[in-house]
Amino acid sequence: MTDEDPMLAAALALDQTADLQTVLAAWNAATARLEQTHEALRKEVQRLTDELEIKNRELARKNRLADLGQMAAHVAHEVRNSLVPVTLYLSLLRRHVGGDPESLQIVDKIESGFTAVDGTVNGLLHFAVDRDPQWRAFSARALVGDVLSMLAPQMAAQSIRTVVDVAEGQQMTADPDMLRRALLNLVLNALDAMPDGGTLSVSARRAAHALGPVVEIQVADTGPGLSKDGRRRAFEPFYTTKSGGTGLGLAIVYRIAEAHGGNVTAENRPGSGAVVTIYIPADAREPSRMKIASAKEAAA
């Protein structure tokens, strides 16, 4: 062996060490990339799983609502058919006891009970209706004014102050009759929350939304606000915290917003009171259906 052999061996050893370090570095880099890819895939799988769960809950809810709507329509139809002859008999009875004040008072109480039943039937029919909106352009300010004028005597009796924030030229395209019904339900709910007086605020404005431009209609009150359970279940049919309520008011609002491809949320205001917001697509007569947030998601 020559004198150069130790030097050659050392050089070879250095080359092997360098090659090993290169291999290890490449291995570590590949491992890091694999870990990053694995983490990204895990997050994507989790996102898709969560999205699928939400869609499955939404589909199940829509199926339940469809079945419930059919049942409600059938019950409302049968009850209304039964009320017609009873109302006629009450009218005849009123004539028969016209000279007896005590009997007339009893008839008045019976009629009051049937009026409440008729209101419930109307609520069931409005909840069960499943028709497409009749799209028309109209003034949002005029719509709000119509509803508030209709309820002016009740608001005066309850000492309710109103604040309206709707621009004179604010136009929207939707079904005005359906929107009037939704707004009426929201205002009535707000009045129920303020039996001893308060402030009712109604606004309508064009706003940006995650799924496009919308007309945002808000009804706010200064009542006690919504409980945690109330926020979660606000739009469930037949859920109510009122002793004489049917629990259909907000459910009807939800269905009207959904029919327009819109959304509705219920939240508490800072300080006190609740605010319900309807989002109606602003630009399209046949809008693509927006994702509907369930009451549970809205409260989360």
Whole-number Å distance between alpha carbons of 297 and 291? 12
For range 127-153, the mean pLDDT: 86
pLDDT of 125: 63
| Whether the predicted pLDDT of 294 surpasses 50 | no
pLDDT one-digit tens code per residue, 68-108: 666 666 676 677 777 778 888 888 888 888 778 888 888 88
Q: How far is CA 191 from CA 43, 153, 222, 233, in A?
A: 46, 12, 10, 20
For range 12-17, the mean pLDDT: 64
Q: Distance between alpha carbon 203 and the CA centroid of its chain, in Å? A: 17
Antiparallel, parallel or unpaired: β 171-174 and 198-207: unpaired
pLDDT of 193: 92
The partner residues of 264 in beta bridges, in order of sequence, read 278
The partner residues of 275 in beta bridges, in order of sequence, read 220, 267
- pLDDT tier at 291 (50, 70, 90 boundaries)? very low
- pLDDT tier at 288 (50, 70, 90 boundaries)? very low
pLDDT of 52: 81
pTM assigned to the model: 0.60
At 37, list the tokens. Answer: 């890819």
Q: Distance between alpha carbon 265 and the CA centroid of its chain, in Å? A: 4
Amino acid at the residue 33: R
The conformation of residue 81, written as its DSSP 8-state character, comes to H
| Whether the predicted pLDDT of 2 surpasses 60 | no
To the nearest whole number, what is the mean pLDDT of the chain? Answer: 80
Whole-number Å distance between alpha carbons of 292 and 137? 24
